[in-house]
């Protein structure tokens, strides 16, 4: 569509670091980027869902909000979908959804004062993309008339894990926007049952549709302190390798507040689009179990998992070579990775966050970090560690390279097991193919590059008195890391 007024810009929020799907989702690599249901990721699915044309409108290139840690993961998964973002905006620190959404609105207004934006989290499951696009179409009239539109999910159970939207009238099944009466915080079980029976409450999906200028006007009226911090953060934003990095000093002054508290619970021009075609925020392993399609016994297995005489159980192994076997289990969640295993009663799925808190309290790295660490050029996976040595498997994607660097306290031995690597050690450049190895003494400047068309995989053995990641001096780095 050539008519810019018929364009809707997706604003995708991708900076979250949920813990309720631990150990698969962790702070260093959260659920939106992980293949949870099959080979797809939630981030890639929302990018597809918010692409192409709906009825009477078309999606423009998306704006993505994320943090510095995830920026290359976002860029990689966008490229896998063949999508070129309007902007990937980097939040210097965590400030919740209100500052993030406002930053996107200000960025869009600078290019198109009449921009319409659809805000969506990157960690939700919406199985019927066409039905969702149709719901957006039904909400566009209200948004263009000046309303702030949110989407309410028809509840299927008395859920206590979601906030609710009370609408002024029961939805009539048409899906047309209804005026919002009020927001309701997460209820207890009794209250949730009452709201379900009334029929005038919907789950709050955290999805919003509005003209960018109307959102900015709402911040002027209801949250000027957020606006005062975010405006200079956007105006002083700097380009960085194709990303747009918000100014950290100004951004740091923004209140840590959600869009619900800052705007939606205070504004009067609110409408809700009812939606009943399937939705989940995959807020726990019980939700993953449900969406994975349990068999006739209520069992779902994935990866190297085997169930014998089990019922209402999820068994999942996400590590190569890790076999997980359940025998005679009922109502159990078991998730195995090579560095952590979760076993829980399915009724306690929402308490997985307690495990993360307990591990953090005891200083266990598994609370937040994976052995597999994603980098701009590929990834590093820890295999074995001792007091004065570490063994890692390193994968470098085609056309990528590590920084030119040196270490004070450790030397390294490399052996290539897949592909061909271009290796620099001080002034010497060598091509290493499979089964060839090289020694890098402490203090030597070195780099590994992948000039080929398939990934390079090599085993690195580090030895020395100190093996921490902060023992790196970078001389050149195409990814602008310090």
Chain segment 329-347, per-residue pLDDT in tens: 999 999 999 899 999 999 9
Q: What is the pLDDT of residue 217?
A: 97
Find out whether 101 and 12 touch, Cβ atoms under 8 Å.
no
In order, the DSSP letters of 28-40 are: TB-GGGSEEETTE
Contacting residues for 295 by C-beta, under 8 A, at least 6 apart: none
> Does residue 361 belong to any structural domain of this protein?
no
Strand partners, 261: none
- Of the pLDDT bands very low, low, confident and very high (cuts 50, 70, 90), residue 52 is confident
Q: Are residues 145 and 230 in the same domain?
A: yes
Q: Are residues 314 and 379 in the same domain?
A: no
CA dihedral 124, 125, 130, 133 (to 10 degrees): -10
Q: Are residues 78 and 210 in the same domain?
A: yes
Q: Are residues 290 and 270 in the same domain?
A: no
Strand partners, 413: 439, 461
> Does residue 365 belong to any structural domain of this protein?
no
> Does residue 446 belong to any structural domain of this protein?
yes
Q: What is the pTM of this model?
A: 0.87
Cis before 400? omega within 30: no
> Does residue 359 belong to any structural domain of this protein?
no
**Could you tell me how many helices (H) and strands (E) the chain has, helices first?**
11, 32
Cα 41 to Cα 402: distance, rounded to the nearest angstrom: 26
Q: What is the pLDDT of residue 482?
A: 59
pLDDT at 2 over 50: no
pLDDT per position as a tens digit, 196-225: 999 999 999 999 999 999 999 999 999 999
Residue positions counted in the chain: 482
Residue with tokens 């948004």: 143
Cα 263 to Cα 413: distance, rounded to the nearest angstrom: 56
Q: Which domain holds residue 321?
A: 285-349
> Does residue 169 belong to any structural domain of this protein?
yes
Q: Where are the alpha helices (DSSP H) in 318-437?
A: 352-361
- Give the lowest-confidence range in 131-135, 142-146, 226-230, 385-389: 385-389
Strand partners, 271: 149, 179
pLDDT at 374 over 90: no
CATH number for the domain harbouring residue 270:
3.90.550.10
Collapsing DSSP states into helix, strand and coil, what is residue 3? coil
pLDDT at 354 over 90: yes
Cα 377 to Cα 392: distance, rounded to the nearest angstrom: 15
What average pLDDT score do residues 287-302 get?
94
pLDDT at 4 over 70: no
> Does residue 155 belong to any structural domain of this protein?
yes
Q: Are residues 221 and 159 in the same domain?
A: yes
Read off φ and ψ for residue 479, nearest 5 degrees. Answer: -100, 10
Q: Are residues 66 and 157 in the same domain?
A: yes
Q: Are residues 169 and 209 in the same domain?
A: yes
Q: Are residues 298 and 195 in the same domain?
A: no
SS3 of 413-454: the string is EEEEEECCEEEEECCEEEEECCCCEEEECCCCCEEEECCCCC
Q: Are residues 191 and 305 in the same domain?
A: no
Residue with tokens 């660490």: 373
Of 218, 245, 275, at which residue does a domain stop? 275
Q: What DSSP element (H or E) covers 289? A: helix 285-291
Q: Are residues 335 and 238 in the same domain?
A: no
Read off φ and ψ for residue 436, nearest 5 degrees. Answer: -100, 150
- Of the pLDDT bands very low, low, confident and very high (cuts 50, 70, 90), residue 5 is low
When divided into structural domains, the chain yields a total of 3
pLDDT at 1 over 80: no
Of residues 271, 274, 290, the one with CA closest to residue 282: 290
Please report, rounded to a whole number, the percentage of residues in the chain having pLDDT higher than 70: 99
Contacting residues for 245 by C-beta, under 8 A, at least 6 apart: 68, 89, 90, 92, 237, 238, 239
Q: Are residues 448 and 469 in the same domain?
A: yes
CATH number for the domain harbouring residue 397:
2.60.120.10
Q: What is the pLDDT of residue 440?
A: 96
Of 316, 349, 382, at which residue does a domain stop? 349
What average pLDDT score do residues 420-430 get?
95
> Does residue 1 belong to any structural domain of this protein?
no
Find out whether 445 and 405 touch, Cβ atoms under 8 Å.
yes
Of 349, 384, 403, at which residue does a domain stop? 349
Q: Are residues 239 and 295 in the same domain?
A: no
> Does residue 329 belong to any structural domain of this protein?
yes
């Amino acid at each position: 569509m050539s008519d810019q007024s018929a364009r809707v810009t997706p604003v995708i929020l991708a900076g979250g670091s949920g813990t309720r799907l631990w150990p698969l989702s962790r702070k260093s690599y959260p659920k939106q980027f992980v293949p949870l249901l099959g080979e797809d990721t939630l981030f890639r699915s929302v990018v597809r869902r918010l692409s192409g044309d709906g009825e009477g409108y078309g999606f423009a290139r998306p704006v993505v909000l994320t943090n510095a840690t995830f920026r290359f993961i976002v860029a990689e998964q966008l490229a896998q979908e063949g999508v070129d973002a309007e902007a990937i905006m980097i939040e210097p620190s965590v400030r919740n959804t209100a500052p993030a959404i406002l930053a996107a609105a200000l960025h869009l207004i600078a290019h198109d004062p009449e921009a319409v934006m659809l805000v969506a989290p990157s960690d939700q499951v919406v199985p019927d993309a066409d039905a969702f696009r149709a719901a957006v179409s039904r909400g566009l009239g209200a948004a263009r008339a000046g309303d702030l539109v949110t989407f309410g999910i028809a509840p299927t159970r008395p859920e206590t894990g979601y906030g609710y939207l009370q609408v002024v009238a029961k939805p009539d099944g048409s899906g047309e926007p209804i005026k919002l009466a009020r927001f309701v915080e997460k209820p207890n079980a009794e209250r949730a049952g009452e709201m379900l029976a009334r029929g005038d409450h919907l789950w709050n999906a955290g999805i919003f549709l509005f003209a960018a200028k109307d959102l900015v006007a709402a911040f002027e009226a209801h949250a000027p302190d957020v606006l005062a911090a975010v405006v200079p953060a956007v105006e002083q934003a700097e380009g960085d390798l194709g990303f747009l990095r918000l100014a950290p000093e100004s951004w740091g002054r923004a209140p840590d507040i959600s869009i619900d508290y800052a705007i939606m619970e205070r504004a009067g021009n609110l409408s809700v689009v009812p939606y009943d075609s399937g939705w989940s925020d995959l807020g726990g392993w019980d939700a993953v179990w449900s969406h994975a399609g349990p068999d006739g016994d209520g069992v779902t297995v994935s990866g190297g998992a085997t169930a014998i005489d089990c019922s209402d159980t999820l068994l999942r192994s996400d590590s190569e070579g890790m076999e997980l076997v359940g025998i005679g289990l009922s109502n159990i969640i078991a998730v195995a990775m090579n560095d952590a295993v979760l076993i829980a009663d399915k009724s306690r799925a929402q308490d997985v966050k307690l495990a993360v808190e307990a591990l953090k309290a005891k200083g266990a790295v598994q609370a937040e970090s994976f052995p597999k660490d994603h980098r701009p050029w590929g990834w590093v996976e820890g295999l074995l560690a001792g007091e004065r040595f570490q063994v890692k498997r390193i994968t470098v994607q085609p056309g990528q390279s590590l920084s030119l660097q040196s270490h004070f306290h450790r030397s390294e031995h490399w052996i290539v097991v897949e592909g061909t690597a271009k290796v620099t050690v001080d002034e010497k450049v060598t091509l290493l193919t499979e089964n060839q190895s090289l020694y890098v003494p402490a203090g030597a400047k070195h780099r590994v590059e992948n000039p080929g068309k398939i990934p390079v995989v090599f085993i690195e053995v580090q030895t020395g008195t100190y093996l921490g990641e902060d023992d790196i001096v970078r001389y050149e780095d195409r990814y602008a890391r310090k």
